[in-house]
Amino acid sequence: MSDRDPLFNGPASARVYDYSLGGKDNYAPDRDAATDALDAHRVAHLLPRENRKFMRRAVRYLLAAGIRQFVDLGCGLPGKGNVHDLALAADPASKVAYVDNDPVAVVHFQALLHTLPGATAVTADVRRPDAVLNHPDITALIDFTRPVGILMISMLDWIPDEDDPDTIVATFRDALAPGGHLVICDFLADNLSESDWTAHRELTERYGISLTFRSTERFKGFFDGLDLVEPGLVLAPEWRPDRPYDPPSGWLLAGVGRKP
């Protein structure tokens, strides 16, 4: 499709993220939004890779812990080193379900997964967790009576407080069997300057893409009843790094919790 396709008049979060990672599944409005964010925030260029690298380390940790079932909530568009790439390489019997409310993102994943019986992608809204957990394509693949890794990677920032993210997370958390894990990486409010907040408000007004930043204390509540895996809640690059890394942006907090 061309940049003028009427279906893509405004930026979409998944495509903005895709462009930030160097992908090709994006359009002019997405590139404009990403470029303006990079211009407005000095650390913005670090965020997509910090986020993606944490996801990969977390999935590898879960695989080493014996997890063979994964649900990736708010998956966005596929990139390099997706959850199913890591999981199926470690064990071809692994099961992976991707969930997103953007049908374009889901179609891209379905095109990748159509020959893989152990993976699926479904269109669903994580703000209705019961509908996700009871989706027939997910229940046909994922056995929630056994340990599952639920991934919320840059997903909660799209859910404002008025949509009650605490209850949403609790519903998914309660669905975990003992030994299951919850993985979260998202925007941290603690380190933003006043100029950062001003630029954030201006970008929200300009593009209509609203992100919610939360404090460390709010993040802790998402892991209620779970045992936080060492080193606990930390800046994303500091969670079990496997190689040298640039100084953290300070904008992404990450953690993994295990259900006892």
Per-residue pLDDT of the chain (260 residues; tens, 9 = 90+): 223 333 445 656 555 555 555 555 555 656 655 565 555 456 777 888 899 999 999 999 999 999 999 999 999 999 889 999 999 999 999 999 999 999 999 999 999 999 999 999 999 999 999 999 999 999 999 999 999 999 999 999 999 999 999 999 999 999 999 999 999 999 999 998 888 888 778 877 777 777 899 999 999 999 999 999 999 999 999 999 999 988 999 999 999 999 99
Q: At how many degrees (to 10) do helices 28-40 and 13-20 cross?
A: 70
CA distances from 70 to 97, 148, 197, 242 (A): 6, 6, 34, 22
Residue 17 belongs to a domain:
no
Residue 4 belongs to a domain:
no
Residue 32 belongs to a domain:
no
Q: At how many degrees (to 10) do helices 13-20 and 103-113 cross?
A: 60
Supply the Cα-derived Rg of the chain in whole angstroms.
18
Domain count of the fold of the chain: 1
pTM of the model: 0.86
Residue 210 belongs to a domain:
no
Residue 2 belongs to a domain:
no
Q: What is the pLDDT of residues 13-67, one digit of tens each?
A: 555 555 555 555 555 656 655 565 555 456 777 888 899 999 999 999 999 999 9
- Domain at 126, CATH number: 3.40.50.150
Residue 148 belongs to a domain:
yes
Sign of the C-alpha dihedral computed for residues 172, 173, 176 and 181 taken in this order: positive
Residue 124 belongs to a domain:
yes
List the domain range (segments joined by +) for residue 89: 45-198+221-258
Residue 34 belongs to a domain:
no
Segment (H or E) for 57 = helix 47-64
